[in-house]
């Protein structure tokens, strides 16, 4: 069975973007793949987080993974810090990465340009930790939104360099980008990705938003003056984003969605989109309420830790042996 690995960084409440671009796909993949899904809590602290709030984001994330349909009996679901080998391999891989490579990361360049020097070293080096998160488990595929593709490419470069420098150690993973849902945009600024850490929550649908809030946010989504339902992200980014949301929620093609709504006025189309999002999220929210205070969360993480750490320990030992970090004879 081929292996797949991905993580989510719960640096805020999870969004519709996280669901359509990641979680929904993971649930399908677990039918066919040996799926590893982790909660990237170390990545959360690359930007300061209030400790109490972070704890609640992490707990909600585990509950939402399960509520969205990830099955702890099929998938390995774990917390990154429960497997400290990630941080250790991360440091080793940072010694096999060049400054120039990290300087080229678009996400770092964008953040550096907008944050006036207040960026942490951890944010700068996080792609090497991400490489460790991935390479530790030798996955065949890494499903990501298109914003993370560059980091998976860096991971491949680091793995190839390590394999050439020492000897074959890491499998070279392929990034897997979905056709729809790969980049859900903000409702209020549809040229920007919908992000959980957006300063304004007007453009972001959170997975735990109440139906009336969802309807309100969709009704006030930015559109255009074309008065036509077309999929044209360049000239009609707002409408195209709503079309993409419907396509991803209902597993339909963009063409099919456009054909259904082509004669709708914008107001009626937005109402239809809001209903589709509410219908998608209502069962997830109901399941979340059932499990948020149950023992299932802890049981899931214990089980995941056991399986992940068994693999991680062996991989780290192998890596350290190849580099010459160990003294004892094997
Ligand atoms: N808007 C999105 N559309 C499609 N996919 C998305 N993902 C995130 N936002 C969207 C995908 O969800 C997975 C987990 O992402 P993440 O939370 O680890 O990191 P991120 O991409 O940096 O998410 P945010 O919400 O934008 O976080 P902040 O605001 O903290 O920077 C990934 O597969 C991602 O592509």
Which residue range is the domain that position 125 belongs to?
3-177+295-323
What is the total count of domains within the chain? 2
- Report the pLDDT value the prediction gives residue 6, as an integer from 0 to 100: 94
Which distant-in-sequence residues (6+ apart) come within 8 Å of 10 by Cβ?
39, 40, 41, 44, 57, 58, 60, 61, 196
Q: Exposed/middle/buried for 22, CB within 10 Å: 0-12, 13-18, 19+?
A: buried
Q: What is the CATH number of the domain that holds 235?
A: 1.10.240.10
Q: Whose CA is nearest to atom 10 of ligand 1?
A: 17
- One domain, residues 26 and 136: yes
pLDDT value, residue 165: 97
pLDDT number for residue 117 = 66
Quote the ligand 1 centre to 222 CA distance (angstroms): 21
Q: Compute CA 230 distance to the chain's CA centroid, rounded to the nearest angstrom.
A: 28
The pLDDT value given to residue 326: 87
In a domain, 168, yes or no: yes
Residues of the chain predicted below pLDDT 50: none
| Six-digit token string for 281 | 């999220």
Q: What are phi and psi of 116, to 5 degrees?
A: 45, 50
Residues in the chain, overall count = 330
Tokens of 216: 């309100």
Comparing CA positions, the residue from 155, 237, 103, 175 lying closest to residue 111 is 103
For residue 2, give the DSSP letter. -
Residues 266 and 302 in one domain: no
Domain assignment present for 187: no
Q: Is residue 18 part of a domain?
A: yes
Domain presence at residue 266: yes
Is residue 70 a contact partner of residue 25, using CB atoms and an 8 Å limit? Answer: no
Pocket of ligand 1 (CB under 6 A): 8-9, 11, 15, 17-18, 21-22, 40, 144-145, 147-148, 181-184, 193-197
Q: E strands within 256-323?
A: none
Q: pLDDT value at position 181?
A: 65
pTM of the model: 0.92
- Judge whether 188 lies within some domain: no
pLDDT tens-digit series, residues 159-193: 999 999 999 999 999 998 877 667 899 999 999 99
CATH number for the domain spanning 311: value is 3.40.50.620
Quote the tokens at residue 294. 């149950």
Task: Answer whether residue 202 is part of any domain.
Answer: no
In a domain, 151, yes or no: yes
Nearest atom, ligand 1, residue 147 CA: 35
111 labelled catalytic: yes
Are 77 and 146 members of one domain? yes
Q: Are residues 154 and 276 in the same domain?
A: no
The single residue of 24, 196, 270, 305 carrying the catalytic annotation is 196
174 phi, psi to nearest 5 deg:
-100, 135
Ligand 1 midpoint to CA 327 (Å): 41
């Amino acid at each position: 069975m081929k292996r797949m690995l991905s993580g989510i960084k719960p640096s805020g409440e999870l969004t519709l973007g996280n669901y359509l671009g990641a979680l929904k796909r993971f649930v399908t993949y677990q039918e066919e793949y040996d799926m590893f899904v982790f909660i990237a809590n170390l990545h959360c602290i690359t930007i300061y987080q209030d400790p109490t709030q972070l704890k609640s984001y992490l707990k909600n994330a585990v509950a939402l993974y399960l509520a969205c349909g990830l099955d702890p009996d099929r998938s390995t679901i774990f917390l990154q810090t429960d497997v400290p080998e990630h941080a250790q391999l991360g440091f080793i891989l940072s010694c096999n990465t060049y400054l120039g490579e990290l300087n080229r990361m678009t996400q770092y360049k964008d953040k550096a340009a907008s944050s006036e020097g207040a960026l942490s070293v951890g944010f700068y080096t996080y792609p090497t930790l991400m490489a460790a998160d991935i390479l530790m488990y030798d996955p065949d595929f890494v499903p990501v939104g298109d914003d993370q593709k560059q980091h998976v490419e860096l991971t491949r470069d680091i793995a190839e360099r390590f394999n050439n420098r020492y000897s074959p150690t890491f499998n070279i993973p392929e990034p897997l980008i979905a056709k729809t849902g790969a980049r859900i945009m903000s409702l209020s600024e549809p040229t920007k990705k919908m992000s959980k850490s957006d300063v304004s929550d007007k453009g972001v649908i959170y997975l735990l938003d109440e139906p009336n809030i969802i309807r309100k946010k969709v009704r006030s989504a930015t559109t255009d003056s074309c008065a036509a339902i077309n999929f044209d992200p360049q000239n009609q980014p707002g409408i195209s984003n709503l079309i993409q949301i419907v396509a991803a929620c209902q597993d339909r093609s963009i063409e099919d969605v456009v054909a259904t709504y082509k004669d709708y006025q914008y107001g009626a189309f937005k109402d239809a989109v809001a209903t589709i999002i509410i219908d998608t999220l209502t069962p997830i929210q109901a399941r979340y309420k059932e499990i948020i205070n149950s023992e299932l969360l802890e049981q899931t993480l214990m089980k995941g830790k056991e399986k992940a750490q068994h693999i991680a320990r062996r991989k780290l030992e192998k890596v350290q042996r190849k580099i010459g970090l160990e003294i004892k004879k094997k």
